Each structure stands twice: as structure tokens, then as C-alpha cells.
Amino acid sequence: MKKLTLLAVPAFAAAMAMSASSYAASSGSTATVTIKTPISVAEDTPLAFGTVIPTVATNSASVVLDFADGTSGSTNATVTGATSGDFTVSGADSSSFVLSGLGTVQMTGTGTDMPLTLTSSPAAGTLALSSGTLAIAVGGTLTVGANQASGAYTASYDVTVNYN
Amino acid sequence: MKLNREFLFSLSVAIVSFHLLDFSSSKAATVTPTVNVTIGAGGGVGPTPVIPETTTTVETTGDANGDGEITTTVGDAIAVQTSNFRAIAPAPQAAVTATTQAASAASQAATADPSSPAAAAAERFNEGARAASDYFGGASSVAVSGVPNQTYNITLPGETSYSTGAEIVDIGGFAHDAGATPQLSEAGSGTFNVAADVNDAGQFQTAGSEAGGEGDTVGDVGSVEQILATPVVTRSPFVSIIVSYN
């Protein structure tokens, strides 16, 4: 007795034209793919608070750095050499994205840590690229403690952009 | 037995469409820059910086050196240069009323007979009225001088009164037009006007009888001459206005 052998073939592995049209069907199809420009963010001008000199050593001080290199609200302190941070976001034109990061960081150095609360213009949130780019300015408020030890202080902060 | 072998294949081809994204590098990006600050020596180490004093050119409190004058480091004391308080407006109401009545009477008499003595008297009245107006001026003007651009205070008198011999005249409600913060000019000068309310406490006695119409006598019109001869207010007494630096 001859054995009937069935050859099992995965359905998606091959295409075969059948003479009997009722056992198979085929249709033309189109495969499309869209390549999207990667989003990126680059620092153009570093954020810097320059040199801060408290007027009265025993009092705390606060320095507000705006988005145009200007300092205000510098109670009990003189500030020189402060510059706002400038960034450029690049990506697919008219795409929306989310700006995040910033927040509050601690500046560390020779003395007690000093909190720095960062802000941006435009503010963090959902934004849109125009002609494939968007400029972001970063400023913030630095709080100098009473009897803050003189010297250099530094902190790192994140600027994150994410297509949504 | 013939065995038919039939191979059935079903195949479907689907339209495939997809977006290619490199999730590892193109959907998001982060930079991590650093921010620096230098705390200067004045921040707690070393002496406190000395803030230079603001120089002043005006004594801020009255007569600081007790010499009777408010002086300044620049020089000039503030002073009232001129004033003309001899004329205080408005004229006493009684005088205004009397002269109005007299003018009406004279006008009526002149209309009745332009060639009559009444007409001549009316003309004299008009001249006298103009002269009388010299007794009743507008607001008095005051000129002051002192430190350029310095603000100053004006202290006006309260109510006062005086007798003309015929009546008591009250003067009060003094007011000036220098504003809330008077200030000398760059040349150190300034002017302002002072006005007051004049209240006639007495009754002005009209000399003569009521005149008007045909047949008026000189005597009636003569009442106008009597009014002019005895003005209600010849001149007001001097009043004190104090100006001082503030």
C-alpha cells in the first residue's frame, strides 16, 4: 500500500500559481515605509551664572537669570558675567515633541550645595518644530546661602526632547 | 486505487505598510550640559563691601543748623520773592451786588435821557467800575526761589478776617495751584497762585435810593459816586504764606 504523503508548507513561505482558481487567490500589494528625521538637541550657549558676590555675607541671596542674559531680583548680591543657556532642537518639520528635564539641581563646590531651579522658554511640555528646528532658552533661580563659601560651584542638568 | 494528490495552498498577500523608526536613537534625544557659578569673596569671606553714601544737596529736615533759615549745601534758601496779596479774589459779594445794581440804575437813567446828568454819571460809573476792579484782583501770585529742582511745601493760612470800617470781611479756604508736590525749576525758581473765598459778614449799605426811569435825579445816580467813593474793600491785609523745603 502506498502511503499518502502530505507536504506541509507554511502558508506564508511561498506563493504558487494554481491552475484551478478556486484553490488559491492572489492580489497585487504595495509596501510603503516612511523614514522620519531623528530628533536632536544641541547646546549653543552654555548656561552660566558668572560671578555672584553677596552684599552682606551673613544674609542669603537669590539670583534670577532670565532668557536674555539679564539678572533680576538679585537681592543681596551683585552678579557679573551671567549668560542664559541656548539650545536648538532639530527634527522633522512640523513634528510635535515633548521638552523635559530641567527641574531643580544642586550646585556643588567648595561650600554648601546651592539649589538651582531651571526654567525654559518655551516652557517644558509639548512643542512643535518649525522648519525643522526650535530654539530653547534656559534660565533659572540660584539660591545662595548665608555665609556661602566663596569658590567655584557646578551642576549638570538634562535637556530632553522626545517625539510624541 | 488512484490517489489524487492535491496540494492546497492558500496564500494571501497582505498589503504591508509600516513606519520605520530607530527607537534607540531617533525618537528622543538628551543633552546634559553643566552650569557654573563663582561665589565672590564678598560672599562670606573677607570684609563686607562698603556701599558709598549717596550725596545730598539739600537739608532734609527744616532748619538743621538753627540759623533761622533753611539752607542747602548748594546755597540758596527758599524764599518768597514777590506776592501781591493786596488783591484777593473774589470781590466781596455785597460789593458785587451793589455795583451791579448801581450799574443797572445808571444804565436805565442814561437810556431815558442820554443828555441827562444821569448819563454823564453812568459814564463816570463805568470808569469807576474799572478802577474798582483794581481793588478786586484775581488769584494772588507768588514767586519763590531756591535750590534747582528741589521740591518744597506750601503752607497757607487758615481763616482770617479784617474790618473795612464798614463791615467785617472773612477770608478763608486758601488754596494754591502748585499741585501736590511743588518743585522749583532747573533755574531754581517757581511761581504759583493763591486764591481764597471772601465772605462778606456784613450788609453793604447802598447810598441813595433806587434809581431808574425818567426823572432820575443826580442824587440817585450820585449813589453810584458814593459807592465808588467808599469802596467796600480798599485793600486786604497781608497774609502769611510759608514755603519750605521738604
For the stretch A133-144, pLDDT in tens is 999 999 999 999
- Encode pLDDT of A76-123 as tens digits: 788 888 999 999 999 988 889 999 999 999 999 999 999 999 999 999
> A116 CA to chain B: closest CA distance, Å?
10
Contacts A101 to B, Cβ<8 Å: 30
Query: Of the ranges A55-64, A99-108, B190-199, which one carries the lowest mean pLDDT score?
Result: B190-199
Distance from CA of A68 to the nearest CA of B (A): 16
Question: Which pLDDT band holds residue B179 (cuts at 50, 70, 90)?
Answer: confident
Residue position matching grid coordinates 478802577: B131
Q: Do B27 and A162 touch (CB under 8 A)?
A: yes
Q: With pLDDT > 70 as the criterion, what percentage of chain A qualifies?
A: 77
Distance between A72 CA and the closest CA of chain B, angstroms = 16
- Which residues neighbour B48 within 8 Å (Cβ) at sequence distance 6 or greater? A55, A56, A57, B42
Strand B17-20 with A32-35, pairing: parallel
The pLDDT value recorded for residue B5 is: 47
Mean pLDDT of B201-208: 30
Report the pLDDT value the prediction gives residue A71, as an integer from 0 to 100.
Answer: 82
- The per-residue pLDDT for B121 is 56
Position A61 confidence tier, pLDDT thresholds 50, 70, 90: confident
A42 interfaces chain B, CB cutoff of 8 Å? yes
Instruction: Name the band, by pLDDT with cuts 50, 70 and 90, for residue B148.
Output: confident
Give, as one character, the DSSP assignment of residue B227: H
For A81, the 3-state DSSP assignment is coil
CB distance B32–A2 less than 8 Å?
Answer: no
Q: Is B118 exposed, middle or buried (CB count within 10 Å of its CB: 0-12, 13-18, 19+)?
A: buried
Please report, rounded to a whole number, the percentage of residues in chain A having pLDDT higher than 90: 49
Confidence grade of residue B51 (pLDDT, cut at 50, 70, 90): very low
- Residue B80 has φ and ψ, to the nearest 5°, of -85, 120
Residue B134 grid cell: 483794581
Q: Which of B6, B11, B35 is opposite residue A11, by nearest beta carbon?
A: B11
Per-residue pLDDT averaged across B202-214, rounded?
31
> Residue B33: its chain A contacts at CB < 8 A?
43, 46-47, 85, 156-157, 159
Interface of A with B in 113-142 (CB under 8 A): 114, 116, 142
What integer is the mean pLDDT of B200-226? 32
- Cβ-defined contact of B44 to A2 (cutoff 8 Å): no
pLDDT level of residue A75 (50, 70, 90 thresholds): low
What pLDDT does residue A5 have?
41
- Inspect the interface and report whether the beta carbons of B13 and A27 lie closer than 8 Å: yes
B139 DSSP assignment? S
Look at A159 and B25 and tell me if their CB atoms are within 8 Å: no
Main-chain phi, psi angles of B96, to 5 degrees: -65, -45
Interface of B with A in 26-65 (CB under 8 A): 26-45, 48-49, 51
Q: Is A152 in Cβ contact with B36 (below 8 Å)? A: yes
Half-sphere exposure at residue B70, Cβ-oriented, CA atoms within 13 angstroms: 20
Does the beta carbon of A99 lie under 8 angstroms from any beta carbon of chain B?
Answer: no
- Name the residue facing B29 among A30, A109, A161 (closest C-beta): A161
Which candidate from B32, B45, B48 shows the least CB-CB separation from A149? B45
Q: What pLDDT band is residue B11 in, cutting at 50, 70 and 90?
A: very low
- Asked if residue B129 has pLDDT above 80, the reply is no
ipTM value > 0.90:
no
Arithmetic mean of pLDDT over chain B: 54
Give the residue, A91 or B166, on which the prediction is more confident. Answer: A91
Give per-residue pLDDT as tens, B88-125: 333 444 444 555 555 566 566 666 766 766 556 555 55
How big is the A-B interface in CB pairs under 8 Å?
A: 189
Per-residue pLDDT at A42 exceeds 60: yes
How far is residue B117's CA from residue A96's CA, in Å, rounded to a whole number?
103
pTM of the model: 0.41
The pLDDT mean for chain A works out to 82
Q: Which of A148-152, B69-73, B137-141 has the lowest mean pLDDT?
A: B69-73
- Pair B140, B239: CB distance under 8 Å: no
pLDDT value at position A127?
A: 94
Residue A54: which pLDDT band, with cuts at 50, 70 and 90?
confident
**How deeply is B78 buried, as exposed, middle or buried, from its count of CB atoms within 10 A (0-12, 13-18, 19+)?**
buried
| SS3 state of residue A151 | strand
pLDDT at site B110: 62
Range with the lowest mean pLDDT among A11-15, A44-48, A134-138, B214-218? B214-218
A64 touches chain B (CB under 8 A): no
Interface touch B39/A144, C-beta < 8 Å: yes
The strand pair at A159-163 and B28-31 is best described as: antiparallel
Q: Given the DSSP bridges, would you call strands A40-45 and A71-75 parallel, antiparallel or unpaired?
A: unpaired
Beta-carbon count within 10 A of B221 CB: 27
- Residue B138 confidence (pLDDT): 44
Amino acid code (one letter) for A127: L
The reply to whether A161 touches chain B by the CB within 8 Å rule is yes
Interface membership of B165 toward A (CB under 8 Å): no
Q: Work out the average pLDDT over B73-83.
A: 43
Residue B124 confidence (pLDDT): 54
pLDDT at B193: 75
| Residue A66 reports pLDDT greater than 60 | yes
